[in-house]
């Protein structure tokens, strides 16, 4: 039986960093890493940089046939598979009002939610006690955010789904961990949509993707349901639990407006 890791969104940013750290052995020994994203050239660069064999799967995870392809790749492994890690990183966010964002609202739901569900249901067929699922949510999951309504809700979905899934799987020794990072310097902000809406939430600040990944892997190995990988977001999460949601939203809006005005000066 071969131990593999499947990483979606592996062509850049956080997903690429997960592949790098898994390749270095941070998640235990692996026979192969399956790297999934649309950009085949970038995936091949990831493969070149790894010591572990990498299987490149250039798939658009919002297309109808992507998960049929993944299913047949999984089923076609003659020597049997143990999916030791599934890391769902593929995702994108558009800033702006719900109406401004238009068709990207549904596209975000497809990639950030549906693809996570599909990947989990397929990978679980090949998981055993000790296997781990890491689903990337966001600090945006912690509070409803005007200007980021759909993205925040998709990440809340990932957070709640992952917690419940972990509770369901505990008896069989498989754990699922939701990760809630704040902003990171990746391609995520390359085409954010409305810059005004982005400026409104930038007060939360940036964290280092390398630290986010190492802490996520450590949390997953310890069987933690949620990994909030920066200390100030942990404090924000504690405040959000104590304060009524509407009040927390008002407060967040005021901080955002103050921060955006100060940055524009």
Whole-angstrom Cα distance, residue 218 to residue 125?
A: 24
Segment 28 to 47, residues that bind ligand NAP, using CB under 6 A? 37-39, 42
Q: What does the block give as tokens for 211?
A: 């630290």
Is 157 an interacting residue with respect to ligand NAP (CB under 6 A)? no
Instruction: In angstroms, give the least distance from the CB of 28 to ligand NAP.
Output: 23
CA 189 to chain centre: 15
Burial 56-66 (b: 16+ CB within 10 A, else e): bbbbebbeeeb
Q: How many amino acids of this chain bind ligand NAP (CB under 6 A)?
A: 28
Q: Which of 84, 105, 131, 138 binds ligand NAP (CB under 6 A)?
A: 138
Q: Which is nearer to ligand NAP, 84 or 216 (CB)?
A: 216
Q: How far is CA 129 from CA 83, 174, 216, in A?
A: 10, 5, 19
Is 188 an interacting residue with respect to ligand NAP (CB under 6 A)? yes
Is 200 an interacting residue with respect to ligand NAP (CB under 6 A)? no
Q: Which is nearer to ligand NAP, 234 or 247 (CB)?
A: 234
Instruction: In angstroms, give the least distance from the CB of 212 to ligand NAP.
Output: 9
Q: Which of 5, 56, 90, 153 binds ligand NAP (CB under 6 A)?
A: 90
Segment 224 to 263, residues that bind ligand NAP, using CB under 6 A? none
Q: Which of 27, 91, 96, 147 binds ligand NAP (CB under 6 A)?
A: 91
Is 93 an interacting residue with respect to ligand NAP (CB under 6 A)? yes
In order, the DSSP letters of 50-107 are: -SS-EEEEE--TTSTTHHHHHHHHHHT-TT-EEEEEEEE------BS-HHHHTTHHHH
Whole-angstrom Cα distance, residue 138 to residue 237?
A: 12
Q: Which is nearer to ligand NAP, 83 or 228 (CB)?
A: 228
Q: Which is nearer to ligand NAP, 63 or 172 (CB)?
A: 63
Instruction: In angstroms, give the least distance from the CB of 133 to ligand NAP.
Output: 14
The sign of the dihedral angle between the CA atoms of 195, 201, 202, 206 is negative
Q: What does the block give as tokens for 7?
A: 């990483």
Whole-angstrom Cα distance, residue 63 to residue 84?
A: 25
Q: Looking at the chain, how many residues does it have?
A: 265
Q: What is the DSSP letter of 7?
A: E
Which residues sit at the interface with ligand NAP, rule CB under 6 A? Answer: 9-15, 37-39, 42, 60-62, 89-93, 111, 136, 138, 181, 183-184, 186-188
């Amino acid at each position: 039986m071969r131990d593999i890791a499947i990483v979606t969104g592996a062509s850049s940013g956080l997903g690429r960093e997960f592949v790098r750290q898994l390749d270095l052995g941070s998640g235990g020994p692996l026979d192969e890493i399956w790297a999934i994203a649309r950009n085949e050239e970038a995936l091949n660069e990831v493969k070149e940089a790894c010591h572990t064999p990498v299987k490149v799967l250039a798939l658009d995870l919002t297309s109808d046939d992507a998960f049929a392809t993944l299913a047949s790749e999984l089923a076609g492994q003659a020597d049997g598979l143990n999916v030791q890690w599934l890391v769902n990183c593929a995702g994108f966010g558009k800033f702006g009002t719900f109406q401004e964002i238009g068709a990207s609202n549904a596209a975000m739901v497809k990639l950030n939610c549906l693809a996570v569900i599909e990947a989990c249901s397929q990978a679980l067929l090949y998981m055993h006690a000790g296997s781990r699922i890491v689903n990337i949510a966001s600090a945006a999951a912690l509070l409803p955010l005007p200007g980021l309504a759909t993205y925040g809700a998709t990440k809340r979905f990932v957070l709640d789904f992952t917690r419940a899934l972990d509770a369901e799987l505990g008896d069989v020794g498989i754990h699922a961990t939701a990760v809630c990072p704040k902003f990171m310097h990746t391609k995520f902000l390359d085409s954010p949509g409305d810059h005004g809406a982005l400026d409104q939430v930038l007060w939360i600040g940036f964290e280092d993707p390398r630290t986010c990944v190492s802490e996520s892997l450590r949390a997953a190995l310890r069987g933690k349901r949620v990994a909030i990988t920066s200390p100030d977001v942990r404090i924000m999460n504690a405040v959000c639990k104590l304060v009524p949601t509407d009040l927390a939203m008002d407060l967040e809006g005021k901080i955002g407006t103050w921060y955006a005005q100060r940055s524009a000066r």
